[in-house]
Amino acid sequence: MPRLVSHPDEVKIVSRRFGMGATDIDRYIELGGYEAARKCLAQGPDWIVEETKASGLRGRGGAGFSTGMKWSFVPKQSAKPKYILVNGDESEPGTCKDHLIFLHDPHAVIEGTIIAGLAVGAKMGFIYLRGEYRYLLEITERAVADAYDRGFLGKNIFGTETEFQIITQTGAGAYEVGEESALMESLEGKRGVPRIKPPFPAVVGLYGGPTVINNAETIATVPHIIYMGAQAYCDVGTPRNGGTRLFCISGHVERPGVYELPMGYNLRKMIYDVAGGIRGGRKLKAVVPGGSSTPVLLAEEIDIGMDFDQVGKAGSMLGSGGRGGDRRPDLHG
Ligand SMILES: Cc1cc2nc3c(=O)[nH]c(=O)nc-3n(C[C@H](O)[C@H](O)[C@H](O)COP(=O)(O)O)c2cc1C
C-alpha cells in the first residue's frame, strides 16, 4: 500500500480528502461532497461544459486534450444511448495516482461521473478498473452502492426527474486496454484491441453510442472545479494548463511518492526539492517525464515547467504524470 507523502509546495485539490476517511459517504458529504453535482443539476449542461472549458482542465490520461471541449463534441440529440466511461486502467509504468483516488476518494470519481453525464445528457456511466486493481473494486462498489442508497444514483437522482446509473467493471490485466477504443472493446466483452478512428468515441463509442471517455483523475477533478470555481482552479496552473496534477515520482530519488503540484511546476525542483534529490547524492542521468512511453529527458534538459506545452516543446510528453529518474540501464554510471 503506498504511503501518503506531502511537501509544502503541494496545492491539494484532488488529494485534499486523501487520508480523511472519505470512502465513507457521510464523511465525504461532511467534506463538501455531492454539492457540486447538486449545483450542476440546477445549472444545466451548457453551464457545466463552459465551466469545465474555462477551468483549463486537460485530460490526465495522457494526451492532454481539453475536457470541456471533448464534452462539447457529444451530439445533443442521439438515437442511441450516450455513455460516460471512466478510464481507471492506469497501466502506464510509473503511474500510480488513479489508484490513490479510488483508494481514498472513490466518491469524487462517482460525483465527477454524474457531472459528466449531466454535461452531455448521458444516463449511464461505467467505471473501468485495471485487472490488477481488483481489490479497489470492493471500495468502489461499496461507494457506488452507498450513492444509490442516498439517491445520488438511480432513476431520480437528488430527487429530480434525472436518471443516472453507474456500473463498475475490471479488465483482465492488459496494458493495451488503457487506450480508449481498446477499453471499449474490452467493456463490450471482446478482445481488448484498438478500433480504427474515425469515428471518434464522442460520436460512435461504446455499443455504438456517443461516449465520453476520461481518465479517472480528470473525472475526479471536475467536482473540485465546480466547488471552487473554474477561474480559481485555472489560476493555479499556467496558461492553457489549468490547475494541479498528481505527479508520480519514482526511481532513484530520496522521497518517491505522488505529489499534487501546480501545472507548470519546475521539474528540477520536483526532483531535488520535492523528492529530495537522487538517492545517496548520486548524479542524475535522465528523467522519464510522463510514463514510460514518453521520451527521456537528459539531466541538462530538466529546467522546464511541467505542463503539456513546455514538456512538448522540450521534445517529450507530459503523458500520464509518471516520472522516474535514472531508469535507463545504459545510463547507469
Ligand atoms: C497504449 C495506450 C495506453 C493508454 N493507457 C491509458 C490508461 O491506462 N489510462 C488512461 O486514462 N488513459 C490511457 N490512455 C489514453 C486514453 O486512450 C484516452 O486518451 C484517455 O483515457 C482520455 O481521457 P482524458 O482525456 O481524461 O485524458 C492510453 C493510450 C494509449 C495509446
Q: What's the 314 CA to ligand 1 centre distance in angstroms? A: 22
Q: Which residues contact 41 (CB under 8 A, 6 or more apart)?
A: 118, 157, 158, 160, 162
Closest ligand 1 atom to the C-alpha of 219? 26
The predicted model gives 282-294 an average pLDDT of 91
Do domains 25-234 and 244-331 share one topology? The answer is: no
Q: With 60 as the cut, is the pLDDT of residue 297 above it?
A: yes
The residue to mutate among 215, 292, 294, having the most atoms of ligand 1 within 8 angstroms of its beta carbon, is 215
- Give counts: helices (H), strands (E), the chain: 12, 11
Quote the ligand 1 centre to 162 CA distance (angstroms). 29
Q: What is the pLDDT of residue 1?
A: 57
pLDDT-derived band at 329 (thresholds 50, 70, 90) equals: very low
Please report which confidence band the pLDDT of residue 293 belongs to, taking 50, 70 and 90 as the band edges: confident
Check: CB of residue 274 under 8 Å from CB of residue 259.
yes
Q: How confident is the model at residue 327 (pLDDT cuts 50, 70, 90)?
A: very low
**CATH superfamily, domain at 25-234:** NADH-ubiquinone oxidoreductase 51kDa subunit (3.40.50.11540)
Name the percent of the chain lying above pLDDT 90: 88
Mutation to probe ligand 1, out of 175, 179, 200, 318 (largest number of atoms < 8 A from CB)? 179
pLDDT of residue 328 exceeding 60: no
Phi, psi for residue 116 in degrees, rounded to 5: -60, -40
**76-133 per-position pLDDT tens digit:** 999 999 999 999 999 888 899 999 999 999 999 999 999 999 999 999 999 999 999 9
pLDDT at residue 320, rounded to an integer? 76
Does pTM surpass 0.75? Answer: yes
pLDDT at 75: 97
| CB-CB contact of 37 with 114 (8 Å) | yes
Pocket-forming residues, ligand 1, beta carbon under 6 Å: 59-63, 65, 87, 89-92, 176, 178-180, 213-215, 218
- Indicate which residue's Cα is closest to atom 31 of ligand 1: 179
Q: What is the pLDDT of residue 221?
A: 98
* pLDDT score for 324: 67
What residue type is 219 in one-letter code?
I
Residues with Cβ within 8 Å of 280's Cβ and at least 6 positions away in sequence, in order, are none
CA of 130 to the centre of ligand 1 (A): 12
pLDDT computed for residue 217 by the predictor: 98
What are the extents of the domains in the chain?
25-234, 244-331
Let me know: does 249 contact 323? Beta carbons within 8 Å: yes
pLDDT attached to residue 292: 83
Q: How far is CA 159 from CA 14, 36, 210, in A?
A: 27, 15, 26
Using the CB atoms, write b or e for 126-165: b if 16+ within 10 Å. Answer: bbbbbeebeebbebbbebbebbeeeebbbeebbeeebebb
Indicate whether 205 pLDDT > 80.
yes
The CATH class, in words, for 244-331 is: alpha beta
Give the start-end residues of each E strand in the chain. Answer: 83-88, 124-129, 165-170, 211-215, 244-251, 257-262, 265-266, 286-288, 297-298, 305-306, 322-325
41: pLDDT strictly greater than 70: yes
Question: Residue 325: pLDDT above 70?
Answer: no
